[in-house]
Amino acid sequence: MEAEEAMELYGRKRIYTDETAIDERNILSVLNDALITHMENYSEIAYLLKYEKGYQPLRRKKVVRPEINVKVTDNVANEVVEFKLGYNWGNPIIYVQHGNADLSGNDSSVDDNAVSMLSEMLREEGKASLDQELARYIEICGVGYRFIRIKPDYDGGSVFQMATLNPMFAFVVYSNDAFRIPVMACTFRITKNGARYYTCYTRDTVYEIRDAVSIINGTEKLDEKGERVITNGKVGEVNPLGIIPIVEYDRSHDRTGCFERQISDMDNLNILVSDFTNDVAQTTQAVWWANDIELPRDEDGSTKKVKAGQWILSKTTGAGSKPQIQALAFVYDYQGILDDIKYRRDVILQKCDVPLRSEPGGGSTGTAMSMSSGWSDADCSANKESQIIEASEIQMLRVIKKIIDLSTDISEDSPLKKLRVSDIDIKFVRNKNYDMATKANTFATYVSHGVYGRHAMQLSDIGGDIEQIWLDSKDGVEKYQKSIYDKQTTNNNDVGKVPYDIETTEEDKSGRLQQDESDQSGNSPILSS
């Protein structure tokens, strides 16, 4: 479809209600009011999902030689999304103990064991894979939804079950006040015959609603005389969790997708690439112009068309006319157009905080190259996004903790029962393998100067499941630290020296505590001398 009117996109709208309490008396009105806003979001989400897959109609109509109309989609939107999924979400979100001194007052080893057990449950439920599915919706649509429920078929492992919801069929309603507390969440399905079934969750009730007009689950609603009230049908069922089990994730505070603001630039790029390809095709299939040439005619007197490979014979007449034959084609500055295409493409990636994958020239240091190619911007953008995502992850942990507390399959003396959400630190890992030498040096420096081992692992961003790595390495790290302190006590001359055997540079001897990318790789303690 050509010259289609572009959709105006300004982020998904948040849904609010003025109702302070939702029950069977007002659930239908709240639902219908929410659906008005959600259906606007529905159309935008559907458009963005199709756009990322490559449905990007050209915003112009070709009127000259319309028989040659090549349409090229340079799907930069997909490139941006794939980078975000790999860089921002490429490593599983990990959970570690927040600190030894916390609100729960539990022993640190108890919390360590509890967090490790929780991580095992999340791994059993395939959370890393579910995160990737959730992340695709978040990055493309600006919002995503996770559903957690009590596991119906407990098999000795996880007591909860997780699912990722399509944001076209899920939404959350918030209180219309400063705190914006979730008061209702909804997910719905459409059957083959067109009926719509909405499942709405409040803190205390679950409502199954058909076509947004009647509640179909729970007991029938009766009036004071014990007679059935036809208007609203039934009253729903008790929510056993006492908390809304659907969690909404926002990519940013304006709830826009990662490429949404650059759609007009992407449409312009598609036109530029398509027109360039059209020009090559039109030059290849050029219209020919002839002057003072008389082509042979057939028996009916019509001029015969020249066939491929056929010769055209001409001669200069005595009247001084000069026969001419040439192609009608406009010669573009092809190199200039190609440079413009690359420039516009790079600008789009830059605006989306996607670094250039080409190696910059010159002899810059690692840090300078990281800044010039856009990796620093990508890291800042990922850090900003992770802080927003963390709020939803905390809400997810609250739902999981409710399920754990209610579960009879977990013993009361289990560390999981004593664990509090405040005991858990959420960490988003973005491994930089090229930076492993710096990470190892940083970790060794922190440990040798008395930083608690688990905190040293987090600060140096070593990657992996830090909680499990710390549990497996705790004894060795603490023995190493004790040996360093004992050595410093017996030999005061060794105070301040680097505790591992590496070849130090003059800069290190001058008082620098850690190395960086500018150091030779041979100085790294992870390599043999």
What is the reported pLDDT for 461? 74
How far apart, in whole angstroms, are the C-alpha atoms of residue 126 and residue 109? 26
Distances (CA, A) of 146 to 114, 257, 271: 23, 18, 38
Q: Write the CB contacts of 221 (distance below 8 Å, at least 6 apart in sequence).
A: 24, 228, 229, 232, 233, 234, 235
Contact 513, 497 (CB under 8 A): no
What are residue 199's phi and psi, to 5 degrees? Answer: -110, 115
Angle, vertex CA 361, rays to CA 356 and CA 362, nearest 5: 135
Domain residue ranges of the chain, discontinuous segments joined by +: 15-258, 434-529
162-198 per-residue burial string, b: 16 or more CB within 10 A, e: under 16: bebbebbbbbbbbbeeeeeebbbbbbbeeeeeeeeeb
Between the CA atoms of 287, 291, 296 and 301, what dihedral angle is there, to the nearest 10 degrees?
90
Which residues lie across from 188 on neighbouring strands?
198
Distances (CA, A) of 328 to 272, 314, 334: 22, 19, 17
The pTM of this model reads 0.79
Q: What is the DSSP string of 296-339?
A: -B-TTSPBPPPPTT--------TT----EEEEE-----HHHHHH
Nearest to 168 by CA among 15, 34, 27, 44: 44
What is the reported pLDDT for 529? 40
Contact 256, 141 (CB under 8 A): no
What are residue 375's phi and psi, to 5 degrees? Answer: -70, -35
How many CB atoms are located within 10 Å of the residue 332 CB? 13
Positions in the chain whose pLDDT score sits under 70:
1-5, 99-108, 222-223, 226-233, 308-320, 328-330, 358-372, 431-435, 463-464, 488-529
Measured between alpha carbons, how far apart are the two ends of the chain, in Å?
Answer: 65
What are residue 342's phi and psi, to 5 degrees? Answer: -65, -40
How far apart, in whole angstroms, are the C-alpha atoms of residue 442 and residue 456? 8
Residue 353 is inside which H or E element, if any? none
Kindly report the three-state secondary structure assignment for every residue of 416-467.
Answer: HHHCCHHHEEEECCCCCHHHHHHHHHHHHHHHHCCCCHHHHHHHHCCCCCHH
How many CB atoms are located within 10 Å of the residue 24 CB? 18
Q: Write the CB contacts of 214 (distance below 8 Å, at least 6 apart in sequence).
A: 28, 232, 233
Contact 188, 198 (CB under 8 A): yes
What is the reported pLDDT for 370? 55
Distances (CA, A) of 119 to 128, 130, 283, 444, 471: 11, 14, 62, 26, 13
What is the reported pLDDT for 60? 87
